[in-house]
Chains A and B, each alone.
Chain A
Amino acid sequence: MISSVILAGFQTTVQDCGRVGLRKFGVTPGGALDSVSLRLANLLVGNPDCMAGLECSSGRVRLKVDVDRLVAWAGGEFKIRVGDDLIPILHCARVSAGAAIEISPKRGGRAWLAISGGVDVPEILGSRATDLRAHFGGWAGRVLRDGDELPLGGESKLCSRMRKEISDVVSDWSAPRFVPRGRFLRVIRGKNWEDDIGEKLLGQKFRVAMNSDRMGLRLEGGEILPGNPRELVSEAVAPGTIQLPPSGAPVVLLGDCQTIGGYPKIAHVITVDLGHAAQLQPLDEVRFELIELEEARALLRERERDVALFRAGLEARFG
């Protein structure tokens, strides 16, 4: 049971929900930059939600499976086809053995593709996610290349029941979509927030710099000059943390960020908006909006409830 990578695109990686509890060894959580998108795609094909799938960004990706499978995807603006059939976002589709799955970015961003049974690469430190900086996990610790052959895991009973329910190619069921609210990322205050710095963060438009990657979005175009640039004692940072280096150009940390940092932490993008942050591409514009901590946690609980309701709905129908 293999998925052959005919065309690998530019930065396609195997990702799951990442590594937990290893920060004290310097190991970043990593995993899908928008874990909710991956989880919904997995649920749609009958997988446990954190199974390994593919994270695609730029470049055309073409895959082939040697067995009948179900696929689903979530994320940015992509055109994903199975043969000639277009697969709408957050739906489940049947793929026959030998058929090609073609993923092409429209506006792009990042997309997560789940295949029933999951990508069955070895679990390393409790996860199948690719750690690109430390070169381990995923497929040989690196981005996929043309010609790679990814092992697929066995399907669950849920998958086979779902397959029987798809009369044409695409399912009549779909998952809830969490749409970004314009180009705003909501933030809460960080430890080193100061009102004048905050005013500049909230009052300007920023542009995503070319050298942004899975570690962080480097922002330019709106400068925040720190009042008194200080060297702080390094401490833990997290995905979402907005650091302010002496240059005055803020950096929004993403899933592959390092575990500790010494720059002032002026604010944090809230967890439910990290998936939207992961969709931003170089030259995109972004603005920030301040909310309170309790609201951020309430939004996160609300979204988890929506995911749980969707899962319960699928289990009621197919379980």
Chain B
Amino acid sequence: MKISPLGDSALTLDFADESSDQARLLARTLSAAERLEGANLPGVMDVTCAYESVAVFFDPARIEQHFEDKIGALVSSAGIRALRKARKIEIPVCYDDEFALDLARVAGQTFLTGDAIIALHSSIEYTVACIGFVPGFPFLAGLSDKLRVPRLESPRTKVPAGSVAIANAQAGIYPFESPGGWNVIGCTPLRLFRATENPPTLLRPGDRVRFRRITRAQFDAEQE
């Protein structure tokens, strides 16, 4: 683990040197984040994780002496326990042409048929690596290598809410209409972000996610 400052009021703990296995690293960061959150260290305001790292945000005026050492000690003993209690969540997706804005493009780049892409996309169990870009946007790890396609060369200014998309080794879902450069292959009727609830997101880091294919009629029926 390597600790480095993220500005004057935060630290990044980088676990990349501990393993080359993505799933193991994810488990490591989630466990470390959970341990740090649970410790309620004075001055700590926020703990967040992403793939191979955890960030701790704090008020420099309120932290105790040897803050970094304490964090190091807490995290070293955190192990990789977090993933055992992962929640499993199913996301219904309509892959019809009207939603699958880039399916033809992905087919051209992967030499797969639309149906084969959909079958692959909805057969995998993904792990929520982190949430970011916009509130509630899940970065899902576990996409099949056969579905690796680059981002759009010029991003869309408006990606519709609920769009299910892929880019490089990742899958994701746009919680609300926003600009974006990922390849859109379907749409979910579920709402991923509700500002009036806490926690505000349907998904949380560490959750296991599967996509389930639905028809247009089911999409309308399940629309939230």
- Inter-subunit contact A238/B130 (CB<8 Å): no
Q: Residue B50 contacts which of A125, A133, A190, A235 (CB distance < 8 angstroms)?
A: A235
Nearest chain B CB to A27's CB is how many angstroms away?
5
Collect the chain B residues with CB atoms within 8 Å of residue A316's CB: none
* A239 to B47 CA separation, bound complex (whole angstroms): 15
* A29 to B8 CA separation, bound complex (whole angstroms): 16
Q: Residue B10 contacts which of A28, A131, A236, A301 (CB distance < 8 angstroms)?
A: A236
Chain A, residues 242-271, CB within 8 Å of chain B (1/0): the string is 000000000000000011100001001111
For residue B162, CB closer than 8 A to chain A, the reply is no
Collect the chain A residues with CB atoms within 8 Å of residue B205's CB: 24
**Category for how many chain A residues contact B:** 35 or more
In the complex with contacts A22-B200, A191-B12, A258-B134, A236-B7 CB distance below 8 A: no
In the complex with contacts A271-B8, A271-B9, A293-B8, A236-B199 CB distance below 8 A: no
- Inter-subunit contact B46/A23 (CB<8 Å): yes
* A293 to B60 CA separation, bound complex (whole angstroms): 11
**Category for how many chain B residues contact A:** 35 or more
- Inter-subunit contact A260/B50 (CB<8 Å): yes
Chain B, residues 187-221, CB within 8 Å of chain A (1/0): the string is 00000010110111100110000000000000000
Nearest chain B CB to A123's CB is how many angstroms away?
10
For residue B119, CB closer than 8 A to chain A, the reply is no
* A293 to B10 CA separation, bound complex (whole angstroms): 11
For residue B16, CB closer than 8 A to chain A, the reply is yes
In the complex with contacts A21-B45, A124-B196, A234-B51, A241-B131 CB distance below 8 A: no
- Inter-subunit contact B10/A125 (CB<8 Å): no
- Inter-subunit contact A136/B51 (CB<8 Å): no
For residue A289, CB closer than 8 A to chain B, the reply is no
Nearest chain B CB to A192's CB is how many angstroms away?
10
Collect the chain A residues with CB atoms within 8 Å of residue B131's CB: 24-26, 259
Collect the chain B residues with CB atoms within 8 Å of residue A296's CB: 8
Collect the chain B residues with CB atoms within 8 Å of residue A241's CB: 6-7
- Inter-subunit contact A134/B33 (CB<8 Å): no
Nearest chain A CB to B107's CB is how many angstroms away?
25
Say which one of B78-86, B93-101, B135-143 lies at the interface with A: B135-143
Chain A, residues 212-252, CB within 8 Å of chain B (1/0): the string is 00000000000000000000011111111100000000000
For residue A304, CB closer than 8 A to chain B, the reply is yes
For residue A210, CB closer than 8 A to chain B, the reply is no
For residue A137, CB closer than 8 A to chain B, the reply is yes
- Inter-subunit contact B136/A26 (CB<8 Å): yes
- Inter-subunit contact B137/A238 (CB<8 Å): no
- Inter-subunit contact B7/A271 (CB<8 Å): yes
Q: List 21 A-B contacts (CB under 8 A).
A: A23-B57, A25-B200, A26-B134, A125-B198, A131-B195, A134-B193, A135-B176, A137-B195, A191-B6, A233-B52, A234-B130, A235-B51, A236-B6, A236-B55, A259-B48, A265-B6, A270-B7, A293-B8, A300-B60, A300-B61, A304-B61
